[in-house]
Structure 1
Amino acid sequence: MNFKFNIKGLALGNPVLRYKLDLLAEQELYASEGMISRVLHQQILKRCNGVNEDNYSNNVGPWSESCQQAMGISQMIAFNVTSVDQSRQRQFDISRTPCDGTMEDLKSGKEITKVIDGCDLCLTVRPNFYFNIPEVQKVFHANRTNLKFEWSGCIPMSGLKYNPTDIYNDMLPTLKQILQQSVPITIFSGDVDGAIPLIGNSEHVKKLAKDMNMNLTKNETWNHENKEGGLLYLYGDLLTFMTVKGANHHVPLSRPSQALYIFSNFVIN
């Protein structure tokens, strides 16, 4: 099938490219950061047997029940919590504790904020409150039909409808088709993201470059405002992978200036 992509460039932030392997990458991240023991990590690898970058497309689908249980226990240990749901809330940023403010706090007139290392962890809560204020909706010409349910952003994704099995799809063939039409792709990952760790995305990008015979042409540190921004890897002249120092799963939220730099210098230009 012949595809035509009418775009000048593509940027993907902490993308889900090979989800089944990304779940293993979470465990590798926990072990490398000392959040779980290496012994536990090896036990998980033993239970979760048989998938790697080369045979991913032949093993699409969920991990075994035994494997998933082991991963769940590991997550709880990694974040020192008592439920898997609690650990999942912590995965988006392994270096900062999440916001403890609620929508009810905002409705009662209380301002909530929690700034850690230059990142306001409560930033995702406030828009949901703000865009549900009737006066704000009127200015934006929104909700003209007076729907009863509230506006909600993508965090949490309670209103997002999709086929759960699609998350296991291998996205590398699609990226390959885009690259074959000389459309440059920049993939960037925050280095404190525990949901889709850069450890996994780095391997996926290497696999994509290898399949397309793209050699590593640049391997260097990139700087922003006289500070280290992260690492940059360029394959050929079309495929770029960047890490963002101190950024979580939501790079524009946790490192907005660096995100703008990436878009301005590697995507738009």
Structure 2
Amino acid sequence: MTNSECSQLLFICIITLTPLFLNNINFAFATDPFLQQEQDRIVSALPGQNFNVTFKHYSGYITVNEEVGRTLFYWFIEADHIDPTSKPLLLWFNGGPGCSSIAYGEAEEIGPFHINSDGKTLYLNPYSWNQVANILYIDSPTGVGFSYSNNSSDFLNNGDKRTAEDNLIFLLKWFKRFPQYKKTDFFISGESYAGHYVPQLSQLIVKYNSATKQDSINFKGYMVGNALIDDFRDQLGMFQFMWSSGMISDKTFKLLNVLCDFQSVEHPSKSCEKIWETAYEELGNIDPYSIFTATCHANDNQRVKRKRSAGRIRSVYDPCTEKHSTIYFNQPEVQKILHVDPNHKPEKWQTCSDVVNTNWKDSPRTVLDIYRELIPTGLRIWIFSGNTDAVVPVTSTRYSINALKLPTVSPWRAWYDNGEVGGWTQEYTGLTFVTVRGAGHEVPLHTPKLALTLLKSFLAGTSMPTLEPPTLTAAY
């Protein structure tokens, strides 16, 4: 590439992406982006919605690869505010890899529209995150939820690198479609395997912004929860949490440490697989994603999966929420209201795609290097952890944070919500760590009020709340 070409394509030179990725930066839009917005706007009540909302929401598709027709489905829910553009914009990811952010993030965690046990009616989430932010959900990567490709082999070739690249293309095109949010403070959040998605996309945005000054994204920071960060420390912490919580024997704990040797979570050895089978037998029929809550008995032969994927968990209030989502989003009238293309809808909508999960191509053993790269940039970076999750437990997260060797700004302390301990927190140079008391793998599902308190502090860039001093009353 010549110097002239490099100056014209500085984005590509800096990020060193493939020519195929470059080709998809050629945006094709209607002259009036607000016309496309209106086409995507959901103007009717959702099926089973017997309550009114005052905010607007939109759903549709954005093609991230024109050559093969690789297209991502999104659902955008504006902040419940008279001027939503005055509120931050938050992009949310679930993990898997292969799980739908709409199935989990919107329908049972942070969204306003939650599904009742009949799988056909909705209720309004009183702790929806769109009370304080505009929320954008993407079914990512292709093959997840309602996202599709004209080339079915795309579903067999997903991986971390292409997912991050596609998500960046999606964002750039989405901001073209919704230009009123271009100057809004933009944040990214997610959980579990999104512990890869979120920092990887953040890294690409920072590099993109450094390459283009006129069309930069107003990116302010990211927050991940119960996140896969580092395979070595994730497994070390997992074994210790299970053992210290009394779920596995001393013998199994020792063998897990010896035979698994802190290998890749995604690619364990045969000897490691075998001792994991023993560990699962000792665990019994519990939900390791939320060790103190009930399991769903709708499908009693569904045992805990060896593949520790994000999102395959049940609610503290209703352990069968995944089943309810499957019923709801497979209804033709629901798909019609959400603007699902009947020519590209899945044969059967699923909360998670086993095809995507089992054919994942690249997954680095650690993303700590990305943290080391991004912390000096001044981004707001928070990590939170529900402390009853045994899959990516608080012990794993603490090991990963300790590996960064960051100076402490504010030491370990309890934080409070309405006078009760909501969890614990410590602030480091460039990073804030928050634990959430009583929450499992999906923090906003198990402790929705505490999760909303967490979000408010993160968006404001303030410390987690302290205990209010008692009000003194005069003595008479």
1:250 pairs with 2:442: yes
Tell me how far 1:63 sits from its aligned partner.
4.0
Identity %: 26
Residue 199 (structure 1) aligns with:
395
* Letter paired with 2:390: G
Q: Cα–Cα, structure 1 residues 204 and 146, in superposed 2: closer, same or farther, change >3 Å? A: closer
Query: Within 5 Å, which residues of 2 pair with 1:27-176?
Result: 27-49=239-261, 62-78=267-283, 80-81=284-285, 90-101=287-298, 116=316, 119-145=317-343, 147=345, 149-153=347-351, 156-158=352-354, 160=356, 164=360, 166-176=362-372
Of 421, 424, 427, the match for 1:228: 421
Q: Which stretches of structure 1, 4 residues or longer, exceed 3 Å deviation after superposition?
A: 1-4, 59-64, 159-168
Residue 109 (structure 1) aligns with:
none
Distance 1:31 1:125 in 2: 31
Q: How large is the Cα RMSD of the aligned pairs?
A: 2.8
Q: Relative contact order, CA 8 A, sep 6+: which one is greater?
A: 1
Residue 110 (structure 1) aligns with:
none
User: 2:233–2:399: 8 Å Cα contact kept in structure 1?
Assistant: no
Tell me how far 1:260 sits from its aligned partner.
1.5
Distance 1:60 1:138 in 2: 39
* Letter paired with 2:293: R
Q: Cα–Cα, structure 1 residues 161 and 61, in superposed 2: closer, same or farther, change >3 Å? A: closer
- The C-alpha deviation readout for 1:89-122, integer Å capped at 9, x for no partner, is x2212112321236xxxxxxxxxxx975xx3222
Residue 213 (structure 2) aligns with:
none
If the length of structure 1 is used for normalisation, what is the TM-score? Answer: 0.76
Residue 374 (structure 2) aligns with:
178
* Letter paired with 1:137: Q
User: 1:193–1:247: 8 Å Cα contact kept in structure 2?
Assistant: yes
Q: Cα–Cα, structure 1 residues 185 and 77, in superposed 2: closer, same or farther, change >3 Å? A: same
Tell me how far 1:170 sits from its aligned partner.
0.8
Q: Cα–Cα, structure 1 residues 73 and 183, in superposed 2: closer, same or farther, change >3 Å? A: same
Residue 107 (structure 1) aligns with:
none
If the length of structure 2 is used for normalisation, what is the TM-score? Answer: 0.45
Unaligned 5+ segments in structure 2 are 1-13, 16-202, 207-216, 300-313, 462-476
Q: Secondary structure at the match of 1:124?
A: helix
Tell me how far 1:72 sits from its aligned partner.
2.5
1:23 pairs with 2:235: yes
User: 1:12–1:188: 8 Å Cα contact kept in structure 2?
Assistant: yes
Tell me how far 1:13 sits from its aligned partner.
1.1
Tell me how far 1:203 sits from its aligned partner.
0.8
Distance 1:27 1:143 in 2: 45
What count of residue pairs does the alignment treat as equivalent?
Answer: 235
Of 459, 469, 476, the match for 1:267: 459
Distance 1:224 1:263 in 2: 13
User: 1:190–1:249: 8 Å Cα contact kept in structure 2?
Assistant: yes
- The C-alpha deviation readout for 1:195-246, integer Å capped at 9, x for no partner, is 11111111101112x0xx433523111112322111101112x201111111
User: 2:387–2:437: 8 Å Cα contact kept in structure 1?
Assistant: yes
Query: Of the two, which has the highest radius of gyration?
Result: 2
* Letter paired with 1:16: L
User: 1:20–1:61: 8 Å Cα contact kept in structure 2?
Assistant: no
Residue 218 (structure 1) aligns with:
411
Q: Cα–Cα, structure 1 residues 234 and 71, in superposed 2: closer, same or farther, change >3 Å? A: same
